[in-house]
Chains A and B, each alone.
Chain A
Amino acid sequence: MSEELHDVRLRVNGASYDLRVPARRLLSDALRHDLGLTGTHVGCEHGVCGACTVLLDGAPVRACLMLAVSAQDQEVTTVEGLGNADGSLSNVQQGFAECHGLQCGFCTPGFLTTITAGLRDNPTPTHEECRDMIAGNLCRCTGYQNIVKAVERAAELGLETPEDGS
């Protein structure tokens, strides 16, 4: 007897997708395998590493700790949805590029979404606040030094060229 499938409409990066998935399908897997949005990465599946972090109605959440069926009626933003409409990098992404804030790139999407929300809520973070903003994401390559710099640079860029049209 095959598994029951549920209809769920996911709104991801501004587009709507209709899926039929089992209830147990994790949001991380639905994004990656059902929608082909492989930018969200899976590092642990127990909510600790943060590589799978996406924005749910603008707030960072672990996609590996959510069921796809639970995300009905909510706006999901993944790393693929962070860049500007013209394809250029957002301030956060640009900060990372300038400051060598990534090496293998696997943890990076989770940092980018987290920091995008973090700087939106606090556009002028102190150094301590920058560190605190990323304190829930693991990185094995960079040792975090340049990620902190990337947050500070992104904040600078945000003040120079705000992306919200202000």
Chain B
Amino acid sequence: MKPAPFAYHRPETLEAALAALAADPHAKVLAGGQSLVPLLSMRLAQPSALVDINALPGLDGIEVDETGVRIGALARHAAVLASPEVRRVQPLVSLALGHVAHATIRNRGTTVGSLVHADAAAEMPVVLSLLGGSVRVASVRGQRDIAAAELVLGPLESSLAPDEIAVSAFFPALPAGAGVAFEEVARRHGDYALCGVAALAHGARVAAGYVSVGDVPTVVDLSGVPAGERGAAALAQLDPQADIHATAAYRAQLVRVLTERVVESAVSSARGES
């Protein structure tokens, strides 16, 4: 399976990259390529050009401070996962990243790339939504921040304009007294989840984000719902679909089971229990 032909640019400055994108509305950005290249090889995507941003300087940073974690567009999943600072300031990012594909894919794939790919079956977009993070994008028209809630328009469709490049993503820090947890059920090690749940508990607020349950990353508010009822409460706000690996009913069962487990785990973690 070989890609169809495309023009190729490997700019060395962000300005040049933005200009190349602006000049060609059918061009796509190439960062890690772990999602894009298979689509090219299968000819499911046939962009006129690729703008390879791997040579752009300064985009691979992972900046951590007490407000949160800012991950540059070229920071590989592996680097983010290996960062003890990220784990300290926002452990949910590290927890979820361990479930993203396999180590070899994580060596090349980028976290920002995963966010912008907007796949509801991916872990990181849901984590961003749950934490209320954002993605910073740039174009010839300037720079803007897109809040997680506005990032995904539909399956595999982000709200970035065709001439915008995501330059970084921001995950807010875990506040003191808050707890997070993540768990997913997949058929094989490293597969897309049949169902994954990320949970955040902070004071009275309890929320859960769902991987592979809707068309878009979905967050459900479970504040005030007691243990044992959380699964049903979540399901009431979700519409699990069927695919070749799981019926809708089974997926719903996983939502029930994982919601209970993961939310309880986040709540315990918030209470300081491990």
Contacts and interface: CB of A to CB of B under 8 A. Distances in A.
Which interface class (under 10, 10 to 19, 20 to 34, 35 or more) fits B? 20 to 34
A3 B5 contact: yes
B107 A136 contact: no
Interface in A1-27: 3-4, 6, 22-24, 26
B253 to A, nearest CB: 26
Interface in B79-116: 101-105, 107-108
Contacts of B4: 24
A61 B37 contact: no
B54 interface: yes
B69 interface: no
Interface string B36-47: 011011100000
B58 to A, nearest CB: 16
Given A65-B33, A70-B52, A70-B54, A24 B40 contact: yes
Interface of A is mostly: mixed
A147 to B, nearest CB: 15
A45 interface: yes
Contact of B41 (A3, A45, A70, A135): A45
B189 A69 contact: no
Interface stretch (B6-14, B160-168, B199-207): B6-14
A50 B52 CA distance: 24
B1 interface: yes
Given A56-B107, A56-B108, A67 B33 contact: yes
A66 B7 CA distance: 16
B50 interface: yes
Contacts of A72: 10, 55
14 contacts: A24-B2, A24-B6, A26-B2, A26-B41, A46-B38, A46-B41, A59-B108, A62-B108, A65-B108, A67-B8, A67-B37, A70-B54, A135-B102, A136-B189
Interface of B: 1-8, 10, 30, 33-34, 37-38, 40-42, 50, 52, 54-55, 78, 101-105, 107-108, 189-190
Interface of A: 3-4, 6, 22-24, 26, 29, 45-47, 50, 53, 56, 59-62, 64-67, 69-70, 72, 114, 135-136
